[in-house]
Amino acid sequence: MKKYSKVLALVMCLALVLSLVLSGCGNTNSKPASQNNNSLADAATADAPKEFKVGIIQFMPHSSLDNCCTGIKTALDENHINYDVQIGSAASPVDDCQGYAARMASTGEYDLIIAIATPAATAAYSAVRNASVNIPVVFCAVSDPVAAKLVESIDVPGNNCTGSSDAFDIPSQIEIIKAVQPELTHLGVLYTTTEPNSLSQLAQLREECENNGIELVDQGINEAADLPAAAAALIPQVDAVTNLTDNNVVDNMSVLLEQAKAANIPVYGSEIEQVKKGCLAAASIDYAALGELTGGLAVKILNGANAAETPVLIVSESTPVFNTDVAAELGLEIPQAYADAEKVTTAE
């Protein structure tokens, strides 16, 4: 009996030792549950894509710029990028855009700013430079970014700024005008004297008119309030008026159209929305498509591309479009060469 008790005690001791050894081995490579969870969370955070935020500044509310903004938002939505939009008022767009840009540059909330139209782009670029922050600026619908001093060159911007240019297809515009009015000798144009894109386009338009035996009659304005008097002075001197992509003129085009209609003078727009509002025809750029290309460029820069080395996108391909209502009112026929052109009617 004593012998049995000794054997039992020995077995129990061995079992206890084995249990302690196994327990020690189990703890050697383990970590507390909280440490394991933190490690997994860190790994998930490292692998998760960065959430970007983009600020969009639109110079003022008018159809061309609205279409640009729509295209930009489409591209950002497709890439799941957060954004907010600020639009300058018609009354004080320059001051408004400068205020929006200064806030976006200083809050630290934004990874990139997209600015639609030249005045908004210059406001954004200046605000970023003044704040000494590394926020890329991507512009949209800036006709001459070199003249606006946003980039050093089209191919190599050189600054933390690039974007898209809506190069107005002036040769195609003159072709349309000559086809509709072959006897035309004097062509009028209104432009804002402080818009670099308007000055650049004016020079191109003058050269194209000279090459085609047309005398260009230009009338400059300083602000939108000057438009009624400028239009009244211009219209009696010309056979037709053509628009540039001038923001002040486009935003207040109803004034020009009303006076031109009273004088039975055609007005040619610079894109389709103007034709829908009462211009006779245009060599039109697709501004929604331009905006979408610009949004795609912004996504590329957010994902690591260097804005200073990313060439400016130039969109100059145009589509002829005619307003059949206006043609009938003016007693003009759409030329056979444009029989397949897009036709629209005046929007109410």
* Overall average pLDDT of the 235-245 stretch: 96
Give the per-residue pLDDT at 247.
87
pLDDT digits (tens, 9 = 90+) for 179-189: 999 999 999 99
Neighbours of 27 (CB within 10 A): 9
The topology under which CATH files domain 53-168+287-315 is Rossmann fold (3.40.50)
pLDDT, tens digit, 9 for 90 and up, residues 295-336: 999 999 999 999 999 999 998 889 999 999 999 999 999 999
Beta carbons within 8 Å of 337's beta carbon, 6+ residues apart:
179
The pLDDT of 69-94, averaged and rounded, is 96
> Does 39 have pLDDT greater than 80?
no
Check for a shared fold between 53-168+287-315 and 170-283+319-344: yes
Q: Residue 348: its pLDDT value, please?
A: 59
Mean of per-residue pLDDT scores for the chain: 87
**What's the number of CA atoms in the CB half-sphere (13 Å) around residue 94?**
9
Band the pLDDT of 195: cuts 50, 70, 90: confident
- Taking CA atoms, 117 is separated from 50, 58, 140, 267, 323, in Å, by 29, 7, 6, 23, 26
pLDDT band at 231 (very low <50, low <70, confident <90, very high): very high
Question: Which residue would you say has higher pLDDT here, 36 or 287?
Answer: 287
Q: List C-alpha distances in Å: 203 to 16, 104, 116, 196, 319.
A: 98, 35, 23, 11, 22
Helix (H, G, I), strand (E, B) or coil at 37: helix
CA distance 284 to 269: 8
Q: Which residues, 6+ apart, have CB-to-CB distance to 231 below 8 Å?
A: 190, 219, 255, 256, 259, 260
Nearest-angstrom CA–CA distance, 242 and 315:
20
Q: Where are the domains of the chain?
A: 53-168+287-315, 170-283+319-344
**Cα 182 to the center of its chain, rounded Å:** 36
Query: Encoding tokens for residue 282?
Result: 């245009």
Between 34 and 331, the higher pLDDT residue: 331
pTM of the predicted structure, to 2 decimals: 0.80
Contact of 133 with 122, CB cutoff 8 Å? no
Mean of pLDDT values over 16-44: 38
Q: Residues with Cβ < 8 Å from 196, sequence gap 6 or more?
A: 118, 144, 147, 148
Give the span between the Cα atoms of 27 and 151, in whole angstroms: 63
CATH architecture under which domain 170-283+319-344 falls: 3-Layer(aba) Sandwich (3.40)
Alpha-carbon distance 239 to 235, whole Å? Answer: 8
CB 262 within 8 A of CB 289: no
Specify the pLDDT at position 347.
78
* Mean pLDDT of the 200-205 span: 94
Please give the angle made by the CA atoms of 109, 113 and 116, to the nearest 5 degrees: 145
Distances (CA, A) of 118 to 18, 224, 295, 321: 81, 16, 17, 25
Mean predicted confidence (pLDDT) in 156-165: 96
Query: Percent of the chain beyond pLDDT 90?
Result: 76
What pLDDT score does 49 carry? 60
> CA nearest 131: which of 154, 158, 110?
110
pLDDT at 6: 42
Beta strand segments in the chain, E: 53-58, 82-87, 112-116, 137-140, 161-166, 186-192, 215-221, 240-242, 267-268, 281-284, 313-315, 319-323, 342-344
How confident is the model over 116-155, as pLDDT tens digits?
999 999 999 999 999 999 999 999 999 899 999 999 999 9
Residue 50, pLDDT score? 75
Give the phi and the psi of residue 103 in degrees, each rounded to 5: -65, -45
Residue 100: pLDDT over 90: yes
The stretch 244-262 carries a mean pLDDT of 93
Contact assessment for residue 59 and residue 95, using Cβ atoms and an 8 Å cutoff: no
Could you tell me the two tokens for 3?
């012998």
Dihedrals phi, psi of 142, to nearest 5 degrees: -105, 110
pLDDT at 90: 87
Q: Which helix (H) or strand (E) holds 248?
A: helix 247-251
